Homo-oligomer: A and B are copies of this chain.
């Protein structure tokens, strides 16, 4: 990024903060008892409702009401040009004191806010688009067969997840119960193989009509941006239930998303070409070449004992989103290829992001070879799957050529609570 694009702000942005002036991601929280859209900068958040009240956003062209909803849906429905105009205006307000933002009470410390889920989710579709993840799982579950099924390289395989149980970062994750076959004895019991899946989620800003597929080349008109996404999974519940209609209760108990939506325009400098696809996909999946994203991803784990001992979370996986086989544009083209409509707030999970090397897998079942090679924590504890009290943190950053942080997603956090006795 050139120096021209890196203006200084009167609002402090510490080096290494994910929320740079190049980022300015969108969020939502209640501020002074009323919902407001927000834009993050450094450790602070700009309260967009207050800016609009003061007339500072009149030039942006977004309706006033969109700034005071308990989700970003109305705002995102204005489309990518409006989002770009809004972020440009906020950048101007943050760099030129004379424009009046310092005259009003429109900044809050992020630490004082309880951030909401950014969007009311319409449909949540979860894909399976990492070649390495699909290959790893195929080897674990079908050791004597080809790891990839015949459809995998032909279309981005996916299923619908439960939109109503998508929660924002920080929401506790209660260990789910379900019918599992541990020790041959089928019973309804707490899962013994609670796992994570490191993903990114694409949020739809502008929906599409029933009967009208979205060409891959038009995806940028519809995708508002990306969030981090943890697709919590109970492997034992999933293993018993999933044939022939796919996963359901092994995943529907919770999905965590990060609270700041990093917009597509902010991510533009980090778009790159995806891996070569062989065989060549059908025409309807072509036409969008640069839809891979160079985003470094990190999974951190902190056990209860580590927390008690004052030990920080440790990284258990490092990978990069650029390596995904199927792109967000292809996922959206496929999802609508049968004429299915989309709505503002629809969420497309990428599928677990796993790299080709040991230590770059995005789930514990892969990292530990289904528990055969457990992780070792600084306390000496071992982890095949998650234990009660474990905290999982997903992080994602885009870096400048010099290695410094250009922008990031912030933390996507969840802590595992014990299964409930009743119910």
A174 proximity list for chain B (CB < 8 A): 211, 339
For residue A423, which residue of chain B has the nearest CB? B213
Residues of B within 8 A of A240 (CB): 151, 154-155
**Interface members, chain A 393-423 (any B CB < 8 Å):** 420, 423
Chain B CB within 8 A of A143 CB: no
A334 proximity list for chain B (CB < 8 A) = 249
- Complex: A283 Cα to B244 Cα, angstroms: 24
Quick check: is A63 within 8 A (CB to CB) of the other chain? no
Give the docked Cα–Cα distance between A263 and B157 (Å).
Answer: 38
**What's the minimum C-beta distance from A347 to chain B, rounded to whole angstroms?**
12
Q: State how many angstroms separate the Cβ of A154 from the closest Cβ of chain B.
A: 6
Interface string of A337-371 (1 = CB under 8 A from B): 11111110010000000000000000000000000
- Looking at A149, A164, A282, A339, the one whose CB has the most chain B CB atoms below 10 A away is A339
**A325: Cβ under 8 A from any B Cβ:** no
Q: Which of A36-44, A86-94, A175-183 contacts B (4 or more CB under 8 A)?
A: A175-183
Any B CB within 8 A of the CB of A79: no
> Is A128's CB under 8 angstroms from B340's CB?
no
How far does the Cβ of A119 sit from chain B's closest Cβ, in whole Å? 14
Contacts of A284 in B (CB 8 A): 188
Contact present for A337 and B177 (CB under 8 Å): yes
Q: Which residues of B contact A249 (CB under 8 A)?
A: 334-335, 337-338, 340
Candidates B159, B165, B343; contact of A245 at CB < 8 Å? B159
How far does the Cβ of A337 sit from chain B's closest Cβ, in whole Å? Answer: 6
Tell me if A131 is interfacial: C-beta within 8 Å of chain B. no
Q: How far is the CA of A210 from the CA of B162 in the complex (A)?
A: 12
Q: How many residues of A contact B (CB 8 A)?
A: 62
The residue in chain B whose Cβ has the minimal distance to the Cβ of A251 is B338
* A243 and B188 contact, Cβ closer than 8 Å, known pairs A164-B341, A248-B159: no
A410 to chain B, nearest CB (A): 23
* Given A155-B241, A244-B242, A245-B247, also A177-B339 (CB < 8 A): yes
A window 172-225: CB within 8 A of B? 174, 176-179, 186-188, 210-213, 215
A47 within 8 A of B: no
A-B contact pairs, 28 of them (CB 8 A): A125-B248, A154-B179, A154-B240, A157-B244, A157-B245, A159-B160, A159-B245, A159-B248, A160-B160, A160-B162, A164-B340, A164-B342, A165-B210, A165-B340, A167-B210, A176-B338, A177-B338, A178-B338, A187-B282, A188-B284, A215-B423, A234-B338, A245-B246, A246-B246, A249-B338, A249-B340, A250-B338, A252-B338
A246 to B210, CA, bound (A): 22
For the complex formed by this chain, how many copies does it contain in all?
2
Smallest CB separation, A160 vs chain B (Å): 4
Tell me whether A165 and B341 are in contact (CB under 8 A).
yes
Closest Cβ–Cβ distance, residue A101 to chain B (whole Å): 38
Any B CB within 8 A of the CB of A122: yes
Whether A322 sits at the interface, judged by CB under 8 Å, is no
- Cα–Cα distance between A237 and B282 once the two chains are bound (Å): 14
Give the CA-CA distance A346 to B339 in the complex, in Å. 23
Please determine whether A241 and B151 come into contact, CB atoms closer than 8 angstroms.
yes
CB <8 Å contact, A248 and B211:
no
Given contacts A159-B245, A160-B252, 8 further A-B contacts (CB under 8 A): A154-B179, A164-B341, A165-B340, A179-B337, A186-B282, A212-B423, A246-B246, A252-B335
A123 within 8 A of B: yes
Instruction: Verify if A291 is at the interface (C-beta below 8 Å from B).
Output: no
A125 — which chain B residues lie within 8 A by C-beta?
248
